[in-house]
Amino acid sequence: MNKKVIKKKKLKIFNFLIFIVVVLLISFFIKILLNVKVRNIYISGNKYLNDDYIIKKSSLYYYPKFITYNIFYYQDVLKKDPYIKDVSIKRGFFSIKINIVEKRAVLFNGVSNEYSFNDNTKIKESDSVVKFVLPRLLNFVPNNIYRELINSLSKVNDNILNKISDIEYSPNNIDKERFILYMNDGNLVYITLTKFNKISYYDNIYSQLDNHKGILYLDNGNHFEIKE
């Protein structure tokens, strides 16, 4: 057997051994990766719900294996939560990034003791994990008008919404959609659903009243009756 043949055989054996080592190394790393768990969960977008609540609700509290967990499964689980409007989940480097879009609570119904959200869903105060600070409805409102009230409140920004203490349904012979808004500053506002957007200008209107207290009529015209 000549030297060239021997060299070729040695080279083949060497290459085969290299191949085996590479396969073993790849198998080893794959096995490690398949068993590595998610190390960090980052949550953003949540205003009312705390991180622990979201992690528990998503079933991610046991920190699943990084390679094998199904993003869409956890998204679907969270989307079923009554406080959550939408959610997106992305993979990071051995981490999970969850972005939450919460539903917006706009009214506390003092008659039924329920929180009402901007999509017209409701949660009983006794069942709620969040204690919202919201305008309180003082009396019964027919269902069709109640839905319109929620839609109108949903268009009011938080700054103005937080200035409303109580809401009273106060229809008369002319207007079946009239309400009284009891403001935290002591003023009353008469308003109707068709003109509810006017409450968004409350700060601008009040700034022109020289700190007087009274009744602001936005249901029929725009005038202010001074009480103090």
Residue 155 corresponds to which amino acid? K
pLDDT of residue 12: 72
Using the Cα atoms of residue 118, residue 121, residue 126 and residue 130 in order, give the sign of their dihedral. Answer: negative
pLDDT of residue 92: 77
Q: 130-173 pLDDT, tens per residue?
A: 999 999 999 999 999 999 999 999 999 999 999 999 999 999 99
Contacts of 170 (CB under 8 A, 6+ apart): 178, 179, 180, 190
Q: 84-105 pLDDT, tens per residue?
A: 999 999 887 778 899 999 999 9
Are 48 and 17 in contact by the 8 Å Cβ rule? The answer is no
> 9: pLDDT confidence band, cut at 50, 70 and 90?
low
pLDDT of residue 36: 65
pLDDT of residue 66: 60
The per-residue pLDDT of the chain, averaged, comes to 87
Supply the pTM of this predicted model. 0.81
The length of the chain in residues reads 228
Q: Which two structure tokens, joined as six digits, stand for 73?
A: 């499964």
Range 218-227 average pLDDT: 79
Query: For residue 105, which of 65, 61, 162 has the smallest C-alpha distance?
Result: 162
pLDDT of residue 209: 76
Query: For residue 93, which of 31, 42, 26 has the smallest C-alpha distance?
Result: 42
DSSP conformation letters of 55-110: HHHTT-TT--BTTT--HHHHHHHHHTSTTEEEEEEEE-SSEEEEEEEE--EEEEET
Higher-pLDDT residue of 226 and 85 is 85
Q: Is 117 helix (H, G, I), strand (E, B) or coil?
A: strand
